[in-house]
Structure 1
Amino acid sequence: MEGVILQTVDLCKAFKGFTAVDKVNLSVRRGDIHALIGPNGAGKTTVFNLLTKFLPPTSGQILFKGEDITREAPAEVALRGVIRSFQISAVFPHLTVLENVRVALQRKLGLTYHFWRPDTALKALDERAMALLEEVGLADFARTVTIELAYGRKRALEIATTLAVDPELMLLDEPTQGMGGEDVARITELIRKVAANRTVLMVEHNMKVIASIADRITVLQRGAVLAEGSYAEVSNNPAVMEAYMGTAHA
């Protein structure tokens, strides 16, 4: 399919007779912010785990840029540029913000996770690290020890470390979870900004966030696709209203 960067074909995952993901056909267009939503237990996280190969599918296919990646290992998928935020953004609380981004950048110089190297050997990464921190609004916190950051800024740092590996497709799992209104607004705007030249697939419960930034939305219920379309289309779909509210007239 022209313009589609990620596609699943009848993707299924069963656990001892329980079908968590049931013939999901998903098409993510290049350059879109595509949201995956649904009630608790709908299968959203399982789909993410299948896409990033933390779980093997029971059946079906996963295609990235037209190539079948269904049986590839997580590291192989990541090298293709499919990056889930927590895969490379488990921030180190006792390193500075700048040091965290440098760790994520190390593979660019073939120095991946060589923590024993002297600090001077990594200075070449500082310019790019600072540019990334500027992009996510953390330049002023570069020398701050990460544990001292507010929660919302830690999430911004996770996005910076994700960007450090130049993802073609960013998978963001609940990026605004647990945040207050001000942090939600900041992270929402940050996602909009970093998605300008990238493709984003995100799981998110906050419908205000979805309404403001998602180009396309796929709704899951009981592991299957219930609806797909723009926010206006899915929010006015009676089946979606019933799934969320318990009644088609809510």
Structure 2
Amino acid sequence: MGSNLGMHQYILETKHLIKDFNGFVAVNDVSLQVKKGSIHSLIGPNGAGKTTCFNLLTKFVAPTSGRILFQGTDITHEKPSQVAHRGMTRSFQISAVFPQLTVLENVRIGLQRATGLSFHFWRSDKTLDALNPKAISLLDQVGLADFAQEYTASLPYGRKRALEIATTLAMDPLMMLLDEPTQGMGHEDVERITALIKKVSAGRTVLMVEHNMNVVASIADTITVLARGTILAEGTYAEVSRNEAVMQAYMGTAAGTTEKAQQ
């Protein structure tokens, strides 16, 4: 009975995950539990193992040892495509990689993947046009409906990141993995993308790596702090920001961390 409860409560679990790169242990005994329907943030200083964790979860890197469970199923040895098919999608996997296409066409490619028409560019316009209403609806969700016919290359940086989220949503994932979604953005774009993540998280789970502590503080339900490949602390922002070990890992107070993240 306890097992069924765990499967229901946690959409993603890792058990004693270790990744050793020829003697360098990037991830060391990490056991994560991500609650279904939550926004869960991985934070930590540079070199803490956050990106390696993401690569392990999405199967771009194989673990040295440990297990990964998604919806109670062991996915430790599955391929990236299998994991994506199960409903765990990382934003860059289907990001706007076609700058010469319009914003609408990029989202349509995401929808093609979801319907099994992946990259069938030779299909008739009529077939592809049938995807337009859904594509426009997704663009509307991320505030890009007015940019539908713009070429992706001409979009400002923050809007390109919003398009990545739209193409990810086109796959209708149960769980979205966002790798530093606000990196390199100005204040206005950060606020827009933060609000967007909060909005699209309704009905799904979000796991994100994020350096900006203001973003983490405003939308994350649970925060896992990594340092040197191990979990240093976990809890709400209020809990982890008061943690002495966390403050030392960032070489300053929680306030200092915020300032550092914004620089």
TM-score of the aligned structures, taking structure 2 as reference length: 0.92
Distance in 1 (CA, whole Å) between partners of 2:211 and 2:116 is 38
Superimposed CA distance per residue, residues 162-194 of structure 1 (whole angstroms, 9 cap, x where no aligned partner): 000010010000000000000000000000000
Higher mean Cα deviation, 9-18 or 115-124? 115-124
Name the residue aligned to 2:239.
233
Distance in 1 (CA, whole Å) between partners of 2:230 and 2:143 is 38
- Residue identity in the other structure for 1:60: G
Distance in 2 (CA, whole Å) between partners of 1:109 and 1:26 is 32
Distance in 1 (CA, whole Å) between partners of 2:117 and 2:207 is 29
Instruction: Indicate conservation of the 8 Å contact 2:106/2:167, yes or no.
Output: yes
Distance in 2 (CA, whole Å) between partners of 1:176 and 1:69 is 29
Q: Report SS of the residue matched to 2:55.
A: helix
Deviation at 1:247, TM superposition (A): 7.6
Distance in 2 (CA, whole Å) between partners of 1:247 and 1:106 is 47
Aligned residues between the structures: 250
Deviation at 1:115, TM superposition (A): 1.6
Instruction: Indicate conservation of the 8 Å contact 1:91/1:158, yes or no.
Output: no
Distance in 2 (CA, whole Å) between partners of 1:194 and 1:247 is 32
Distance 1:97 1:63, change over 3 A: same
User: Is 1:69 equivalent to 2:69 in the alignment?
Assistant: no
Instruction: Indicate conservation of the 8 Å contact 2:42/2:225, yes or no.
Output: yes
Fraction of identical pairs, as percent: 69
Distance in 2 (CA, whole Å) between partners of 1:210 and 1:111 is 37
Name the residue aligned to 1:207.
213
Q: Report SS of the residue matched to 1:172.
A: strand
Instruction: Indicate conservation of the 8 Å contact 2:96/2:164, yes or no.
Output: yes
Distance in 2 (CA, whole Å) between partners of 1:109 and 1:216 is 33
Superimposed CA distance per residue, residues 103-129 of structure 1 (whole angstroms, 9 cap, x where no aligned partner): 110134431111222323201100100
Q: Which runs of 5+ in 1 are unaligned?
A: none
Superimposed CA distance per residue, residues 136-163 of structure 1 (whole angstroms, 9 cap, x where no aligned partner): 0000100111111110000000000000
Superimposed CA distance per residue, residues 185-231 of structure 1 (whole angstroms, 9 cap, x where no aligned partner): 00000000000111000000000000000000000000000000000
Instruction: Indicate conservation of the 8 Å contact 2:15/2:31, yes or no.
Output: yes
CA RMSD after TM alignment: 1.4
Q: Which runs of 5+ in 2 are unaligned?
A: 1-5, 257-263
Distance 1:109 1:202, change over 3 A: closer
User: Is 1:23 equivalent to 2:15 in the alignment?
Assistant: no
User: Is 1:143 equivalent to 2:146 in the alignment?
Assistant: no
Q: Report SS of the residue matched to 2:60.
A: coil
Distance in 2 (CA, whole Å) between partners of 1:230 and 1:107 is 36
> Structure 2 residue aligned with 1:183, among 175, 185, 189?
189
Distance in 1 (CA, whole Å) between partners of 2:114 and 2:37 is 24
Distance in 2 (CA, whole Å) between partners of 1:46 and 1:110 is 30
| Residue correspondence of structure 1 range 150-161 to structure 2 within 5 A | 150-161=156-167
Distance in 2 (CA, whole Å) between partners of 1:49 and 1:168 is 18
Distance in 2 (CA, whole Å) between partners of 1:238 and 1:244 is 10
| Residue correspondence of structure 1 range 27-38 to structure 2 within 5 A | 27-38=33-44
Higher mean Cα deviation, 106-115 or 135-144? 106-115
Displaced runs of 4+ in structure 1, greater than 6 A?
A: none
- Residue identity in the other structure for 1:115: F
Deviation at 1:26, TM superposition (A): 0.3
Name the residue aligned to 1:8.
14
Name the residue aligned to 2:53.
47
- Residue identity in the other structure for 1:214: A
TM-score of the aligned structures, taking structure 1 as reference length: 0.97
Deviation at 1:77, TM superposition (A): 0.4
| Residue correspondence of structure 1 range 120-135 to structure 2 within 5 A | 120-135=126-141
